[in-house]
Amino acid sequence: MRIGMFMREALRSIRSNAAISVAATVTALIAVFILGAFIPSFLYVRSAVNVQQSKVDVDVYISDTATVAQVNSLRDRLSGLKSNGTISEMTYVSKDDALRIMRARLRDPSVLDELPSNPLPAKFNVKPTDPENADAIVAAVKNDPALDPTEGIVYPQSTANRLLTAAKFVQWAGFALIGILLLAAVLLIGNTIRLSIFARRREVEVMKLVGATNWFIRWPFMIEGVLCGLAGAIMAVGMLWGIKVGVVDAWAAGADSALTKTDSPSSITFPMLTVLLVGAGALLGAIGSGITLRRFLRI
Amino acid sequence: MATIDDMHDHDGADRPTFTLVQVPDEVPDEVVAVSVQPTTRRRGDVFRPGAGPMVKFENLVKCYDGDVRGLDDISVSIAAGEFVFLVGPSGSGKSTFIRLIIRELRATSGRVIIGGRDLGELRRSKVPYLRRAIGCVFQDFRLLPDRTASENVAYALQVTGHPVREVRQRVPEILALVGLDGKGDRLPREMSGGEQQRVSIARALVNHPRLLIADEPTGNLDPDTSQGIMDLLQRINRTGTTVLVATHDRDTVDRMQMRVIALEAGRLVRDEESGGYHEETGEVLS
């Protein structure tokens, strides 16, 4: 009953202050749209970085002249790194395996038949639990006698380092930007609602005069803020949906099929994003009007 | 801090109703408003029944910023059921006096005691309940412009948590009592000044206030309309409601011969049981 009355009061105030309500809605629309475009992009980039990070692996090449004992000692050393958590996976690739992989990769495998012997060394392929561990792995085995003198240890060092920097940057810049965006949205909506309340401060005075409690006055304004926030959020979600279907999906379908493999970067699902944005819109409206009202209720 | 629970403070069981009382014939076209005074305490009521005067100022001083004296050492007492005029030139402190009563302002020193309550000790969250017990009427009516007469009156009832059904019943009743029968659907801008003031009186009355204060209620009205409003206030007073009217309206004060409290430059210069508007010379018209 009471909620019904506050609803009616809120709708009345939206009707009688149509211009300001539209302004608040558009503000919410813009804030939520920017947020809605940014969050999936941020998550996509972060996920892309993670996928690349998981691909950083270290190849430890074994000299053809190494004895079985030397190879075993190298294996033990790497196993030690695995048990202390530096390495997540290690696989032994024999000379024959290496040749088979090479053969599979070549367009014309027949060229390999020309070779007098298998020139490819055997190797341990090692996946670090974290790309940051790559240096530690190199340090641990670089003087091992079993290492192949020419190949040694190979890992994409510069790629790894660049990825690490990028990952950290994306992470922090993303969180900071989301924070700033949310703050800006609250302030913008608050400011718009301040206009609405300022236009009606005489009305608030009258309400206080007849003995309305602060919450009695506040509820309709909060509901008004929530309704404007919701309306803006729903429109923003609609626009984002249009962009997703019209631009992003079309682009993804036309892009290299590698992008759609299971380990390709992923982002937030659209229904999830919708829930998040609509919730954010309502919350922005409520907080915006709640904060703004405080000043006007001190009569 | 007020909570939502504060709004549900009326259970409806002990609410008094309005009764119509036969009016003397010299008042032709109006129904007399008689509100039966609440005999039982309402929940959330800040007044203490039977606690001496309705309004009591003790050595009250109100200073505005920069040591401007709004009111200076005022001691005055208004008993329950009195009708009192508060007179004085512009800037003499009449409005300050009234705003102190509804605690829009707080005393700098001294005490304001309303219905047995020291307002200096009243918690901020209780101020709405104080205002519900006091009906207020102003020169500029202070109606909500986008609401009809009925909705304006209804708002004062909704604020105190009355159920919709009861609001629907009481609003037309009270509008009829102030002489606005059938005009409930008009917006303030569609009504004359006198009619708007009647709406504001209806709104002030609808919660059965023990104290009705009016700040220049006839300031914007022509003499005939003013007299109608004053008659209405007087009839309200006859039912037991304490009425305090701040006014410039010399003729009315002289005609009605009620208690007059005169302020000048923030000081109490005269308090007479039955008098007229004070001439500058100090001569009392009576």
SS3 A244: helix
SS (H, E, C) A238-264: HHHHHHHHHHHHHHHHHCCHHHHCCCC
Q: Kindly give, in sequence order, each residue whose CB lies less than 8 Å from that of residue A212, ignoring residues fewer than 6 positions away.
A: B128, B159
Q: What span, in angstroms and rounded, lies between the C-alpha atoms of B230 and B218?
A: 8
Tell me which chain A residues have a C-beta less than 8 angstroms from the C-beta of B159: 207, 210-213, 216
CATH of the domain at A90: 3.30.70.3040
Q: Which domain range does residue B188 map to?
A: 17-50+80-105+126-272
CA–CA min distance B90, chain A (Å): 23
Q: Does B140 touch chain A (CB under 8 A)?
A: no
Are A207 and B143 in contact (CB < 8 Å)? no
Query: Measured between alpha carbons, how far is B45 from B259 in angstroms, rounded to an integer?
Result: 28
Q: Are residues A45 and A78 in the same domain?
A: no
What pLDDT shows up at residue B284? Answer: 46
Instruction: Specify if B149 maps to a domain.
Output: yes
Closest partner residue to B142 among A5, A206, A299, by Cβ?
Answer: A206
Q: Which residues of A touch B (CB under 8 A)?
A: 1-2, 5, 12, 16, 202-203, 205-216, 299
Residues of chain B neighbouring A208 (CB-CB closer than 8 A): 128, 131
Residue B155 is nearest to which of A2, A210, A214, comparing CB atoms?
A210
Check A211 against B144: CB less than 8 A apart: no
Amino acid identity, position A127: K
pLDDT in tens, A17-36: 788 888 888 888 988 898 88
| Residue A201 shares a structural domain with residue A244 | yes
Partner residue facing A209 (CB), from B1, B6, B131: B131
Out of B1, B104, B163, the one facing A299 most closely (by C-beta) is B104
Asked if the structure places residue B1 within a domain, the reply is no
The last residue of one of the domains, among A155, A188, A205, is A155
Number of domains in chain A: 2
User: Of B4, B159, B163, which has the smallest distance from its Cβ to A211's Cβ?
Assistant: B159
A254 and A205 share one domain: yes
pLDDT at B278: 58
The predicted pLDDT at position B14 comes to 41
ipTM of the complex: 0.74
Q: Is residue B21 part of a domain?
A: yes
Rg (CA), chain A: 31
Burial class from Cβ neighbours inside 10 Å (0-12, 13-18, 19+) for residue A122 reads buried
Residue B135 belongs to domain with CATH number: 3.40.50.300
DSSP symbol at A245: I
On the question of pLDDT at A1 being above 60, the answer is no
User: Residue B33's pLDDT is what?
Assistant: 38
- CB-based contact, B106 to chain A, within 8 Å: no
Q: How many domains does chain B have?
A: 1
If contacts are CB pairs under 8 Å, which of residues 227-246 in chain B contact chain A? Answer: none
Q: Is the pLDDT of residue B70 over 80?
A: yes
Considering the domain architecture, whether residues A122 and A178 belong to the same structural domain is answered as no
Coil/strand/helix, residue A61:
strand
Q: Is the pLDDT of residue B43 over 60?
A: no
- Same domain for A288 and A202: yes
Q: Which chain A positions have a beta carbon within 8 Å of B146's beta carbon?
A: 12, 16
Q: What value does the mean pLDDT of chain A take?
A: 80
What pLDDT does A298 receive? 66
Q: A212 and B159 in contact by Cβ < 8 A?
A: yes
Q: Kindly report the backbone phi and psi dihedral angles of residue B239, in degrees, each rounded to the nearest multiple of 5, phi listed first.
A: -80, 0
Write out the residue range of the structural domain in which residue A121 sits.
57-155
> Final residue of a domain: which of A93, A120, A155?
A155
What per-residue confidence (pLDDT) applies to B49? 62
Split at pLDDT 50, 70, 90, the class of B213 is: very high
B158 touching chain A per CB within 8 A: yes
* Rounded Cα distance, A261 and A51, in Å: 11
| pLDDT for A296 beyond 80 | no
What is the token pair recorded at A185? Answer: 């949205």
Q: Cβ–Cβ of A210/B164 closer than 8 Å? A: no
> Does residue B138 belong to any structural domain of this protein?
yes
Distance (Å) from the alpha carbon of A42 to chain B's nearest alpha carbon: 41
Evaluate whether A252 touches A259 at the Cβ level (below 8 Å).
yes
Output the furthest CA–CA distance in chain A (Å, rounded): 103
d(CA B32, CA A269): 69
Boundary (domain end) residue, out of A155, A174, A192: A155
Q: Are residues A179 and A289 in the same domain?
A: yes
Q: Which of A186, A201, A185, A192 is nearest to A23 (CA)?
A: A192
Answer whether residue B155 is part of any domain.
Answer: yes
